[in-house]
Structure formats: structure tokens, C-alpha cells
């Protein structure tokens, strides 16, 4: 072994006394060579982010602190050096890239000023030289018109551009080590693919060591040289990327990798082409934003433009797209949370948009929704039993019958019946999504609209909830509209996929045909951007 730039030995990070476990990180050993990308991968709560912060000495003290171990960097133990010494290391020799570039950049300073400040703190250079250096680095990270970008404020840039600017700030002083904490998680897949490519390119050019923290095995497959798998603060497995990804040894790693949805569409059941559960025709919704009194001078955004899709009975239709594509708006138009400007929503050959109040209530019973955010979609003030049964009761079910059905539903979604007496905050994210599903099923709907129901969940929990959704659909003969940004998930659960971009459906095909032969250039771009697309998830069963 050569001389590693970062060498962490037996690192312990203590949590506050009343936390659920005494150590966030316990006995971590990790080393990074020059010119190497090491991925720390784990689910939420595994301690991966705190590890990155410990290296930067940015732990949220005073209760969370490194209590044991050494972090060797350039001949010094970073846990021992003075705060002044640490300041001269941060930014100059170790740089950090955060998850959310919008909050990591100062909204009141231009990109140029923020880069300049960094250089000014660490180097003595004339202003003109600094500006030249900043322009060069912006050019390096592929920002268009770097000279102009120097004078741009963060809000004037797109998410991808902001993350490029963050990377520029990290690289400007040519640090030996970069710590990247989920830098692409907040980005769309196509942007993510570009950023990953850029990061890898620049890392090779500058021979930087990178500590890359992520939850996504696809990303690991794309960029990692070596991998460290963490679980509950413990190091489960570590090794060369190829070994860990394709021949994992530990049970936990195998479980995680087995839970990664494959990009190859699974076999789907046959369905009746003449039996349509729901159909939209030329559905359109325009949002008006800004503008003063009477809406003068406001902007218009065509969120959904003439969308016509068909959901066959007993099947799942995936609506796939990036943020701002209008997929969530479409879902809300269909469940009538928003009113469409024009077009029709056909159910049983009848346009549901023409319904009166009483009929709308009947419609509500037939079309139910599962929401994205497991924390925000349940009222924190009521017990689970009430949350599930309330819908039934207002539709005329007796209290005792509703209680019996609630218990039944809880069992069906894989929870104890005693869950009815508890509050939402007592459950984990995955359990809450199960509660949300039970609530939607309580009204015995025909159509289930699921808006990114698994995107906030860890990969292993995600696999369970997806399986549950699939089972429930078959068992109740539901038809499902499944909104997602994740093509891997779509490949596993959808019979048909509609790809949306800028409010329009650009391609609508059966899943297997879409993956095998994408016609539209945007679909091809999406498929080409899926992280880890060249990695075939090994069959570990």
C-alpha cells in the first residue's frame, strides 16, 4: 500500500445520551489514496454523513462528537489539531460538496464573490489573478459563459448549474481531498449523470481523493473505486467496487443490493385491451404566477399540455419525468385536487369533470391517492385508527364496521392491529407509507393514484413497499397510476409508461417496448442517465 491521504482508524462518534443508540459511528476504518474515489454507502441513520462531517470537524456539537480514534491527514490527526489549523485546512486542502446547492450557497453573494472570498482567505494573490482563476474553474466545470456566470446570483442558476458552481468552489484551491455528501441526490437524473461524469473527470485531472457519500448503489457502480458499506454506525463491508457490487459477502450488503430494482422490466400479466379504467383526453392546466392586482404582468406556466393517456383495468401506468415535467400536476388533476382548464377525465365513459357536488363525492370514493411524503401525509394529531377510518365514516360506514375494516386493512398492509391506537410519529417512514396505503384502500377504490410513494424511502424499505403495492393491486383488482422519477422503479412495477417532459407526454408505450426500443430522444436521454445503467444487478437469491 502506498501512502493514503486520508486514514481514519477506529473512529467513534458519540450521540447525545437520550438518542436511540450510544454511537453514531463505531469503530470505522477507512483510507483514501490519492486519485481514488471511495464511496461510503448506507441507508438513512447509518452514520455515513456524520463520518464526512467528522473529517471536516463539522459535527453538530456539543453532544455529537468524536470520542475515539484518529483521522490522519497529511501527517496530522484532524481530531487533535487546533481550530485555527483546521480553518487553514478546510477549503484549501479538504473541500466539501453538500447535497443541496441552494442552501449551501449564500443567496446574497454572486458566485464570483463566493469563489473569490475562498481564495482570498487562503492565498495572497492580486484581484485580477483571482478573477482569472475563478473564470478558469467555472469553465472547467462546464458552466456556459463563465465570465458572465461570475456575476450571477445562486437564484439565477438552475440546480445543476449551482451544483457545478459548488464543485468549482471545491476545486479552486486544488485540495487533496474532496468530501461529497450526496451531491446529486437533489438533482434530476439527467443532471445527475452530467455531474457524476464531471466529478469523475475533474478528479482524474487533478488526482484528487474523493470521499463520496451516497445511498444509491447505481451511483456507486458509476464512480466508485472502493466501497465502504455502513449500517447503524458499523462498517459492514469494504472492498474494491467490483467485488462489493457483484460478489457481496455480508448478508446486509446482499440484502441491500438485492433490493435495488433491476432496469430489466419484469414479466407482466396479460390484460384486456378493451377494458379501460380511466382515460384522459387533452387535459390541460396552466398556472399563473406573480402579477399584481388583476393578474397583470404575471407569468404563465403550462404545467400540463394536452395530455391524453389511457389506464387499462388491472394494470399499472407509470408516469415518468423529471421535476417540473408536470407529472405530479397530472396526478392532482386526475384525483381532482386541482381543476383542469380544459380536456376530460373519462371514467365509465363519462366525463368526470362535469360532475356536480354529490357525484364528486362518489368519484372521490372510486379514485384514491397515496402521497409522497411519509411524514407530511399523515395528520400528526390523530391516531392511526382515526386517520384510516375517518374516510369510511363520512361515507356512511358505521363506527364499529369501520373499526373492524381498519384492523383488517392494517393487517393487510403488514402492520399490527394495535397500530390503530398509536400516533403517526411512532412509526418509521416505510410504516407510514403503509398507513397511507391503508387509508387509500379504506374506501375500496377502483383506481389508485400513487405520487412518488417510495422516493422518500430507503432502498430496502422501498422494495417492500413496491411489492406491497403490486400485491394489493392484484388482490383488489385495482388499476394504478404510478408517478415516479425513477426508471428502475418504473421498470419493476409498471405495465405501461408515459414519459413526460415540459408538460407533455412525449412517449407512451408498454414498459418492455419502451426499455427495449425508446423512440423519443428525451426517453433515450433519460434511459442513458440512470445511475449504474451498465451494472447488471447480480442475482443473489
Residue 532 is a binding residue for other proteins (CB under 8 A)? no
**How far apart, in whole angstroms, are the C-alpha atoms of residue 245 and residue 532?**
11
Q: What is the 3-state secondary structure (H, E, C) of 437-470?
A: HHHHHCCCCCEEEEECCCCCCCHHHHHHHHHHHH
Residue 21 is a binding residue for other proteins (CB under 8 A)? no
Nearest-10 Cα torsion for 272, 488, 346, 270: 0
* Contact window for other proteins (CB under 8 A) among 160-168, 181-189, 244-252, 377-385: 377-385
* Contact window for other proteins (CB under 8 A) among 221-229, 261-269, 361-369, 497-505: 361-369
Binds other proteins by CB under 8 A, chosen from 173, 378, 472, 500: 378
Cβ 123 vs Cβ 173: under 8 Å: yes
Cβ within 8 Å of residue 258, ≥6 positions away: 463, 537, 540, 541
Q: Which three cell numbers stand for residue 69?
A: 480514534
Q: Could you tell me whether strands 276-289 and 310-312 are parallel, antiparallel, or unpaired per DSSP bridges?
A: antiparallel
**How far apart, in whole angstroms, are the C-alpha atoms of residue 67 and residue 79?**
9
Shortest distance, position 229 Cβ to other proteins, whole Å: 32
Q: Which is nearer to other proteins, 254 or 366 (CB)?
A: 366
Q: Per this entry, what is the length of the chain? A: 541
Residue 65 is a binding residue for other proteins (CB under 8 A)? no
Binds other proteins by CB under 8 A, chosen from 31, 163, 368, 511: 368
Residue 7 is a binding residue for other proteins (CB under 8 A)? no
Determine the Cα angle at 184 with ends 179 and 185, to 5°. Answer: 110
Residue 355 is a binding residue for other proteins (CB under 8 A)? no
* Contact window for other proteins (CB under 8 A) among 162-170, 247-255, 357-365, 465-473: 357-365
Q: Which is nearer to other proteins, 271 or 423 (CB)?
A: 423
**How far apart, in whole angstroms, are the C-alpha atoms of residue 162 and residue 105?**
8
Residue 205 is a binding residue for other proteins (CB under 8 A)? no
Q: How many C-beta neighbours within 10 Å does residue 19 have?
A: 12
**How far apart, in whole angstroms, are the C-alpha atoms of residue 378 and residue 368?**
15
* Contact window for other proteins (CB under 8 A) among 47-55, 130-138, 365-373, 462-470: 365-373
**How far apart, in whole angstroms, are the C-alpha atoms of residue 381 and residue 362?**
27
Binds other proteins by CB under 8 A, chosen from 267, 380, 400, 541: 380
Binds other proteins by CB under 8 A, chosen from 34, 68, 284, 395: 395
Binds other proteins by CB under 8 A, chosen from 4, 27, 324, 391: 391
**How far apart, in whole angstroms, are the C-alpha atoms of residue 513 and residue 528?**
16
Backbone angles phi, psi at 422, to 5 degrees: -110, 165
Q: Which is nearer to other proteins, 162 or 332 (CB)?
A: 332
Q: Which is nearer to other proteins, 101 or 445 (CB)?
A: 445
**How far apart, in whole angstroms, are the C-alpha atoms of residue 260 and residue 248?**
14
Q: With left for phi above 0 and alpha for psi between -120 and 50, is residue 283 left, alpha or beta?
A: beta
Cβ 155 vs Cβ 166: under 8 Å: no
Binds other proteins by CB under 8 A, chosen from 73, 217, 371, 522: 371
Residue 364 is a binding residue for other proteins (CB under 8 A)? yes
Residue 18 is a binding residue for other proteins (CB under 8 A)? no
Determine the Cα angle at 440 with ends 407 and 496, to 5°. Answer: 130
Q: Which is nearer to other proteins, 164 or 332 (CB)?
A: 332
Q: Which is nearer to other proteins, 12 or 439 (CB)?
A: 439
Cβ 299 vs Cβ 311: under 8 Å: no
Residue 439 is a binding residue for other proteins (CB under 8 A)? yes
Residue whose C-alpha cell is 412509526: 427
Q: Could you tell me whether strands 496-501 and 479-484 are parallel, antiparallel, or unpaired per DSSP bridges?
A: unpaired
Q: Which is nearer to other proteins, 314 or 424 (CB)?
A: 424
* Contact window for other proteins (CB under 8 A) among 257-265, 322-330, 368-376, 523-531: 368-376
DSSP letter for 41, please: E
Q: Which is nearer to other proteins, 121 or 337 (CB)?
A: 337
Footprint (CB under 8 A) of other proteins, residues 309-348 = 332, 335, 337
Shortest distance, position 124 Cβ to other proteins, whole Å: 37
* Contact window for other proteins (CB under 8 A) among 20-28, 205-213, 369-377, 501-509: 369-377
Footprint (CB under 8 A) of other proteins, residues 417-436 = 423, 425, 436
Residue 381 is a binding residue for other proteins (CB under 8 A)? yes
Binding positions for other proteins, rule: CB under 8 A: 332, 335, 337, 360-361, 364-365, 367-369, 371-373, 376-381, 390-391, 394-395, 423, 425, 436, 439, 443
Amino acid at each position: 500500500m502506498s501512502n493514503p491521504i486520508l486514514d481514519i482508524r477506529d473512529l467513534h462518534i458519540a450521540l447525545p445520551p437520550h438518542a436511540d443508540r450510544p454511537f453514531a459511528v463505531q469503530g470505522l476504518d477507512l483510507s483514501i489514496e490519492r486519485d481514488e474515489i471511495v464511496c461510503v454507502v448506507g441507508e438513512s441513520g447509518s452514520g455515513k454523513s456524520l463520518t464526512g462531517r467528522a473529517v471536516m470537524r463539522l459535527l453538530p456539537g456539543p453532544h455529537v462528537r468524536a470520542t475515539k480514534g484518529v483521522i490522519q491527514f497529511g501527517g496530522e490527526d484532524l481530531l487533535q489539531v487546533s481550530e485555527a489549523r483546521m480553518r487553514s485546512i478546510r477549503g484549501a486542502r479538504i473541500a466539501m460538496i453538500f447535497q443541496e446547492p441552494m442552501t449551501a450557497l449564500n443567496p446574497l453573494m454572486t458566485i464570483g464573490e463566493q469563489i473569490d472570498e475562498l481564495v482570498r482567505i487562503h492565498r495572497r494573490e492580486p484581484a485580477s489573478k483571482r478573477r482569472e482563476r475563478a473564470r478558469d474553474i467555472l469553465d472547467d466545470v462546464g458552466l456556459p459563459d463563465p465570465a458572465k456566470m461570475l456575476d450571477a446570483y445562486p437564484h439565477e442558476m438552475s440546480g445543476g448549474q449551482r451544483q457545478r458552481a459548488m464543485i468549482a468552489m471545491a476545486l479552486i484551491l486544488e485540495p487533496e481531498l474532496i468530501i461529497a455528501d450526496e451531491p446529486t441526490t437533489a438533482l434530476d437524473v439527467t443532471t445527475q449523470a452530467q455531474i457524476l461524469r464531471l466529478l469523475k473527470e475533474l478528479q482524474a485531472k487533478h488526482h484528487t481523493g474523493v470521499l463520496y457519500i451516497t445511498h444509491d448503489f447505481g451511483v456507486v457502480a458509476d464512480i466508485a473505486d472502493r466501497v465502504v458499506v455502513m449500517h447503524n454506525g458499523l462498517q459492514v463491508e469494504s472492498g474494491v467496487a467490483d467485488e462489493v457490487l457483484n460478489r457481496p459477502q455480508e448478508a446486509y450488503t446482499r440484502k441491500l443490493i438485492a433490493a435495488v430494482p433491476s432496469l430489466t422490466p419484469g414479466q407482466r400479466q396479460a390484460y384486456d385491451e378493451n377494458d379501460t379504467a380511466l382515460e384522459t383526453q387533452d387535459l390541460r392546466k396552466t398556472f399563473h404566477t406573480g402579477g399584481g392586482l388583476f393578474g397583470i404582468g404575471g407569468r404563465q406556466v403550462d404545467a400540463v399540455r394536452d395530455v391524453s393517456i389511457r389506464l387499462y383495468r388491472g394494470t399499472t401506468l407509470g408516469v415518468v419525468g423529471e421535476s417540473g415535467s408536470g407529472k405530479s400536476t397530472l396526478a392532482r388533476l386526475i384525483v381532482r385536487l386541482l381543476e383542469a382548464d380544459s380536456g376530460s377525465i373519462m371514467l365509465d365513459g363519462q366525463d368526470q369533470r362535469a360532475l356536480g357536488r354529490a357525484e364528486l363525492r362518489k368519484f372521490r370514493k372510486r379514485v384514491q391517492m397515496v402521497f409522497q411524503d411519509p411524514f407530511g401525509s399523515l395528520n400528526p394529531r390523530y391516531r392511526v385508527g382515526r386517520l384510516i377510518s375517518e374516510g369510511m365514516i363520512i361515507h356512511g360506514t358505521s363506527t364499529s364496521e369501520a373499526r373492524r375494516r381498519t384492523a383488517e386493512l392494517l393487517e393487510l398492509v403488514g402492520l399490527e392491529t394495535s397500530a390503530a391506537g398509536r400516533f403517526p410519529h411512532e412509526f418509521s417512514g416505510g410504516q407510514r407509507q403503509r398507513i397511507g396505503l391503508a387509508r387509500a384502500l379504506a374506501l375500496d377504490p377502483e383506481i389508485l393514484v400513487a405520487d412518488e410513494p417510495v422516493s422518500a424511502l430507503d432502498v430496502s424499505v422501498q422494495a417492500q413497499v413496491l411489492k406491497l403495492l403490486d400485491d394489493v393491486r392484484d388482490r383488489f383488482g385495482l388499476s394504478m397510476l404510478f408517478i415516479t422519477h425513477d426508471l428502475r422503479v418504473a421498470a419493476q412495477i409498471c405495465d405501461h409508461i408515459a414519459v413526460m417532459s415540459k408538460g407533455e407526454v412525449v412517449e407512451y408505450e408498454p414498459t418492455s417496448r419502451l426499455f427495449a426500443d425508446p423512440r423519443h430522444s428525451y426517453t433515450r436521454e433519460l434511459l442513458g442517465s440512470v445511475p449504474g445503467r451498465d451494472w447488471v444487478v447480480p442475482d443473489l437469491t
